[in-house]
Structures are given as structure tokens and as C-alpha cells.
Structure 1
Amino acid sequence: MIPSISQSPFLRFSYATYVGIFFVYLIAPLIVVAAFAFNDSIFPSLPWEGFTFDWFFNDTEPKLGVFHDRSILKGISVSFFVAICVTLLSIAVGTSNAFLFERYDFRFKSFAYILMLLPLVIPGVILGISILVFSNTLANGIEDSLNWDLEFLRPGLVLVVLGQFSFITTIATLVISARLRKFDISLEEAAYNLGGSKFDVLRTITLPYLRPAMFGAGVVAFLMSFENFNTTLMLVGSDAPLTITMYDRLKEGSTPVLNAVSVFLMVGSAFLALISILFQKEK
């Protein structure tokens, strides 16, 4: 709705109702999941058996809390490690891509840009399968010809990082490119006229200007990596990230400990999003 155009009371009421229903539709499942994390029952469902913190802090079976569940804690640590690696790689390559596509003209630039965007439209499962088939074929060919067993080309954390990086770096590139496009190039030219080197200008002028976008891209990359499932499922090895650990636990039978993990994911995601908003607002 456009505020400057007068609307009938019925239309305003209908629009407000639609917005309210939309947000209820988004938030209601999260509230239900979070509520059952405090249910004093071994099943994450009704009836309500009472309020408890056992699914967070209890150290005995059958109500083993998330802080004492070794498989869950290991999955969190693995996901954190993968997310950090993917975030750093995505920011570094995304920044380089932003300079490449915004500052330089070269042959087949449009085609290269389309190739960069392709991972966003390819389903995560297909992307994971493609990377797995390619890496296994390459590893088998090297092993057959040179008798070298390259373990990093087999399913494991290296492939998980590369699989997530393949599409998350595209998002980082778009975020950083949008910021770089607004940069006033005359600031760099003035610094060059004052005797600054390319490295000094990049370090003191350009990168500080891009820092909010780089931070925002890093937050998005971290969250997308930490919560990724489709691509990770195809490439995971013995060290399973949190999403795969939760999936395996669901196949065995769900307990409210998974709801407790979901609460931490929701709180952590909201906290990082708030930090990103505040950081960019200050800049």
C-alpha cells in the first residue's frame, strides 16, 4: 500500500489482517517448536506434562539435556568449524569477485557473471551430487594412474566446505558488489594523487567502506552454512554437522532435545542478525 494514496477503511483493515496472518504463519511453527523444548515429556507432542529445563541441563537418560549430549555437541562443533571456513572463504572470494565484476571489463564478462549465479538456481541436492561424483571420479582416476589416495576428495569435511562455498560465495559476491557499486571512485583517485600506493588505498579507503557489506555477507554466510542440509547430506563423511546429526536422530525417534537445539539455533540466528543490523546502522 502507498501511504500517500487514500484507502477505504475496509481495504486498510484487509491489508492489516493479511499482514497479521502472514506473520502468524511464519512465527507460529517456531513458537510451537520452542514450547515443546520445555515439556516434561520424552515426546515432543501433546499432552503438556509440565515445565522443565531437563532437555537443556539434565545429565541422565532418558532426558539427556543438550549440554550433556555428546553427539549433539560434536555436531555443533563440526558445524561451527565448517561455517567459519565457509564464511572466511566466501568473504575473501566474494570481495575479489566484486572487484572483478564492478571494476574491470573483459571478454565474456556477462557469461562469467551468469556462471557465478548458477549455483543459486541449482537445487542443493543436485549440487551436492555433482560435486560428489566429480570428486570421486577425480580421486579414483588419480589413485588408478598414480596410486595416490587423496582422502580430501572423498566424502568429508573438505567436500562439505567446498560444496557450501560453491553457492554461498555467490551471495557474498552480490552483497559486497552492491556496496562497491555505490563507492565514489574519486576518493581513490585523490588518494593516488597524494602519493598513496594501491595497497594503502585499498587498506585505508576501499576496504573500510566495504566493511559493513563484508560483515553482513559474513553473517549470512555463517548462518546459511550452519543450517545447510541438502548439499551437506550428499557430501558428509564420518564427522557429521549438526543438521545431519539432527536428521539421524529424527530417524531413530525424536525427543524434545532436538527442540532445545532448535531454540538455540533460533536465538543464535536472531542474535547474529541483530548484530549485523546494528553494525551496519552505525556505519
Structure 2
Amino acid sequence: MSKARRSEWPYHLYLVVFLAYMILPLIIMGGAAFNDSRFPSVYPWVGFTDRWFVDLWNDGRMWVAFGNTIVVALAVVVLSVPIGTAAAILINSLSGTLRSVLYGLMVAPILTPGAVIGISTLLFWNKFSVPAGLHLATLGQVSYIAAFVMLLVLARLQSFDRSLEEAALDLGASHAQVLRRILLPHLYPAIGAGAAIAFFQSIENFNTTLFTRGTYDTLTVYVFSKVRSGITPTINALALILISITVVCAIWYEASRRRSERRMAMQMAPV
């Protein structure tokens, strides 16, 4: 064995242990969705069944909670993306103490516990006689999820050539045209990533939603109520479906990205 290979084996061992630590619980969780046992486990293995998927399909409350979750997540994306993008552009155009203060104000909600954000949102809007509901859950989530979008867009802005803006303005373009035709096309990858993060952050949110949802259910609240009342493998079936959808979307995105890179490389290749 060469010296280089001997020095690499701890890295490979760590990688194997890390992947096993991350993936094995998901495999066990998925396996419990097919075990014909009242309790979510793979041992002892009673027998293969799809009854938990059937029960999940027939669970009307789950479908209502799922619909509410999607509505809130889409609303969070619609609000978080423009707010986070505008904040990133504004912060990038500032300097000195004002930039640091504004940056700190935008990032602070990320460091705040979700329960505090939920209670604060509920108390603030209660002063204006606004009842709890999905609208407050949306506003509570936007108050910190917009910061994730801002961080992504702000990182993308670091690679933007400001001389392009100056050249466009010198050639007679308005500020709106510069924003629409030069700046935003450069930011589209970060905006898209921010929208995806905002969507999934909203779906998995629990603490903020729990205090602001009113009488409405979301998926996380639904799962929490099932744990309190007696969990069954239907939760495993739901988790397996969500993980499968996430993996399929990730594979599709990566395949699309590689296909775009190959197409671009072929276009730029000398004839």
C-alpha cells in the first residue's frame, strides 16, 4: 500500500461511518412502514404489509394538514423571496456601521428560538385584534426564513461585477432596466435556491407554527398530535413518502444541472 493511500484511509473510514450514521436510521424508519406491527419498529419483524400506507391514504385529517402546509409554504416563498432579495441588495449597497446594523437585524431572527418567534408574533398581532391562523403562521415563518434567502442572495452578490451596472447606466439604461436585465439574471440561481430552502423550512417548521396556527393543522402539528395520542407506523409511511419525494427532486435537479453544463460546454467548444 502506498503512502498516499495509507494517509487517506482515516478519511474514507470517517466518510463511511458518517454516511452510515445518517442513512441507517432512515432505512430503519422506512422499514417500519412495511412491518405488520402496531408499533413502529423493524424488530421483531411480524410480516410485510402495506396497511399503513392505506391507513395514511384514508386519514382525512392528514390530507387537510398537508394542504394547509403546502398553502403556508407557498405563501412563505412568495413573501420571503422578495423580502430577502431586496434586503440583500440593500445591504450590499451599504457600507460601514449601517451595513453591520442592518445585517445584524436581518440575521437575528435565525438565532432566536422558534417558540419565541411564535409567541412574539401571536402577541404582536393580538394587539391589532388579528386572530391566530395560517396567516399568522405565514408571517411568523417569514420573519426568519427571509433571512436565509438574504444570506444566499448576498453570497451570490459577492461575485457580481459592479462595472456592468455602471456601463449599462452610462449607455442610457434606467435603474429598473439594470435591475431587471443585469442584476436579477445573475441572482436567479441564488433566488431559486432561496425559494427551495424557504419552502422546505416552512414545511418542517413546528415551534413557530404551533403558537400561531390557531385551530388549523399542519403536517408537523399533525405528527406531534399523533405522537401524543399513540404513534403508529402511518407516521413512518408519511416520512418515507416525503423522503422519497425529496430524493427524487434532488436527483432530478442534479441531472438537469449536469445536462445544462454539458449543453453549455458544447456551445462554448471551438468548432
**Superposition TM-score, scaled by structure 2 size:** 0.87
Shift of 1:276: 5.0
Bigger Cα displacement from structure 2, 75-84 vs 116-125:
116-125
Mapped to 2, the partners of 1:261 and 1:104 lie a distance apart of 46
Equivalences for residues 175-254 of structure 1 within 5 A: 175-254=152-231
Equivalences for residues 63-74 of structure 1 within 5 A: 64=55, 66-74=56-64
Mapped to 2, the partners of 1:279 and 1:166 lie a distance apart of 32
- Listed as ranges, the gaps of 5+ residues in structure 1 are 1-5, 59-63, 140-149
Mapped to 1, the partners of 2:256 and 2:149 lie a distance apart of 17
The answer (yes or no) to whether the contact 2:76–2:138 under 8 Å persists in 1 is yes
Equivalences for residues 129-168 of structure 1 within 5 A: 129-136=119-126, 138-139=127-128, 150=129, 153-168=130-145
Cα RMSD (Å):
2.1
The answer (yes or no) to whether the contact 1:36–1:44 under 8 Å persists in 2 is yes
Q: How many residues align?
A: 257
1:16 aligns with 2:12: yes
The answer (yes or no) to whether the contact 1:188–1:205 under 8 Å persists in 2 is yes
**Superposition TM-score, scaled by structure 1 size:** 0.83
Structure 2 counterpart of 1:55, one-letter code? W
- Listed as ranges, the gaps of 5+ residues in structure 2 are 262-271
Mapped to 1, the partners of 2:142 and 2:255 lie a distance apart of 26
Residue 54 of structure 1 is aligned with which of 48, 51, 76? Answer: 51
The answer (yes or no) to whether the contact 2:136–2:212 under 8 Å persists in 1 is yes
Mapped to 2, the partners of 1:242 and 1:38 lie a distance apart of 21
Specify whether residues 115 and 105 from structure 1 end up closer, same or farther in structure 2 by C-alpha distance, changes over 3 A only: same
Q: Which residue of the partner structure matches residue 42 of structure 1?
A: 38
Shift of 1:179: 0.7
Bigger Cα displacement from structure 2, 261-270 vs 100-109:
100-109
Mapped to 2, the partners of 1:280 and 1:118 lie a distance apart of 33
Q: Which residue of the partner structure matches residue 98 of structure 2?
A: 108
